[in-house]
Amino acid sequence: MAAPLTQLSEEERMFQGAVRDFAESEVRPRVHAMEQAAQLDPTLIPKFFELGLMGIEIPEAHGGAGGSLFMTVLAVEELSAVDASAAIFVDVQNTLVNALLLKWASDDIKQRYLPRLATEVVGAYALSEAGSGSDAFGLQTKAKKQSDTWILDGRKLWITNGAEAHLFLVFANVDMSKGYKGITAFAVERGFRGFSVGKKEDKLGIRASSTAELILDHCEIPAANLIGEVGNGYKVAIETLNTGRIGIGAQMIGVARGALDASLKYVKERQQFGKPVADFQGVQFQLAQAATELEAARLMVYNAARLEDAGESYTKEAAMAKLLSAQVAERVTSLAVELFGGYGYTKEYPVEKFYRDAKIGTIYEGTSNMQLNTIAKLLLK
């Protein structure tokens, strides 16, 4: 049985505290500059590796921390309470890249890449294309076998960590006539011939997180870099995204928590009509409602993570957790801006950034409508 949701083991509690201290001491001082530059501070990236945040679930035998998905959730939440861009950098590495390789890759690929992913190499997950978002399996990138090499041609869009990554898990179709049953996964290194990173998107939120285009122009992939079986990529993608949604849920509860914490402090300091704004019952009730919704979302995210760690079914719970946490993040960050008044609309205070960062939660790794679709199908199954 999974542990009670709110009960953390001593190891989990110590890990959570270490990440919280790291977020405050190393990430927070860099947030404004990273936001202005629209990129992560390059000096911060090695620190993620040093703390073990880039290989949380990678076994110790491969140089990782040998932790759990729940520990990844704790890390992503703590980082998101300070900066959602730093959090998604860590989240994608763990829930989409490492998790995919751990479950689907050959022993050879694991031995070649997991130790590097745990210690120095940034990874990215490349499924989306300009014409295939929610319809992820409408992708047009093609793969063709030539002797002991695969040749990939196509373009990928919205690839998180695209600017920093050196390993890309790319999905391509080996036989378009088979539709989604032709989709196959490949491990692609930045230095492979025919591979390049295209334009970087200029975004509303999570601005320091790179979102880039990938260009595969007769890109040559060694046969040994095939992940799983030919034509099994659709299953690899679906199951990996189910895990990824839990990570996004963690990001959203962290964003909401950061905004709420800032608001709780501000309303005690801000004076109106001769007393702190916190003394007004209307404000108190708004904060109470926000805190209640945030706790509900947190419990759903923790529950989904505990279920997966326990080897139990979690697809519906992951979809529910992402759906609710994204909705709560939008509501709580919007309230935060309102509670700060005119100051909340300026970049001098942190809540406008939390508000912008929250919006992506309803879009990536499955839109809110796609989560509703998944939940409904499983309910009616």
Report the half-sphere exposure of 180 (CA within 13 A, side-chain side).
11
- The distance between the two most distant Cα atoms of the chain, rounded to a whole number of Å, is 79
Give the burial string for 193-219 (b: 16+ CB within 10 Å, else e): eebebeeebebebbbbbbbbbbbbeeb
What is the radius of gyration, based on Cα positions, of the chain? Answer: 21
Residue type (1 letter), 186: F
Report the half-sphere exposure of 178 (CA within 13 A, side-chain side).
15
CA–CA dist 170, 192 (Å, integer): 13
Q: Point out the catalytic residue in the list 57, 213, 317, 365.
A: 365
Six token digits for residue 152 = 């990939």
Told to judge if 365 belongs to the known catalytic residues of this protein, a careful annotator would answer: yes
CA–CA dist 240, 175 (Å, integer): 22
Q: What is the DSSP string of 125-189?
A: EE--BTTBSSSGGG---EEEEETTEEEEEEEEEEEETTTT-SEEEEEEES-GGGGGGGEEEEEEE
Instruction: Spell out where 3-50 has E strands.
Output: none
Per DSSP, what are the bridge partners of residue 129?
A: 132
Cα–Cα nearest to 221, from 172, 166, 149: 149
Q: What is the DSSP string of 256-281?
A: HHHHHHHHHHHHHH-EETTEEGGGSH
Residue type (1 letter), 232: N
For residue 199, the surrounding DSSP H or E stretch is strand 195-200
Tokens 């989709």 correspond to: 183
Phi, psi of 61 (to 5 degrees): -60, -25
From the number of C-beta atoms within 10 Å of its C-beta (0-12, 13-18, 19+), residue 264 rates as middle
Residues with catalytic annotation?
365
